[in-house]
């Protein structure tokens, strides 16, 4: 999804948060999408880790960035 500023052909920086799950499924995933010009950063959040990916529209590439462990207290 691409968002543009009104009256200009320039993309806005924006953020979306969605929850992905199937009813009765234990592992619900949250998805954060950050847009910065032509690079979209996708964050998949599980109960124990975050997975980060970059999608670059200009270079037509989708790259894995990092897995980050998280812990609930």
* pTM for this prediction: 0.53
Judge whether 2 and 14 are in contact, CB under 8 Å. Answer: no
Q: Is residue 37 part of a domain?
A: yes
- Return the closest-CA partner of residue 11 out of 31, 29, 34: 34
Judge whether 19 and 29 are in contact, CB under 8 Å. Answer: yes
Q: Is residue 36 part of a domain?
A: yes
Domain containing 49 equals 14-69
List the pLDDT tens digit at each of the 73 positions of the chain. 444 444 455 555 555 555 555 555 545 566 777 777 777 888 877 777 788 888 888 888 888 888 888 766 5
Q: Is residue 7 part of a domain?
A: no
Q: Is residue 18 part of a domain?
A: yes
Strands (E), 5-60: 14-20, 29-36, 39-45, 49-56
Q: Is residue 45 part of a domain?
A: yes
Q: Is residue 60 part of a domain?
A: yes
Number of domains the chain contains: 1
């Amino acid at each position: 999804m691409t968002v543009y500023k009104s009256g200009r052909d320039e993309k806005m920086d924006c953020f979306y948060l969605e929850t992905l799950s199937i009813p009765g499924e234990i592992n619900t995933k949250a998805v954060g999408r950050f847009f910065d010009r032509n690079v979209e950063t996708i964050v998949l959040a599980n109960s124990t880790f975050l997975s980060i990916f970059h999608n670059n529209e200009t270079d037509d590439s989708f790259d894995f960035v990092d897995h980050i462990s998280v812990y609930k207290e």
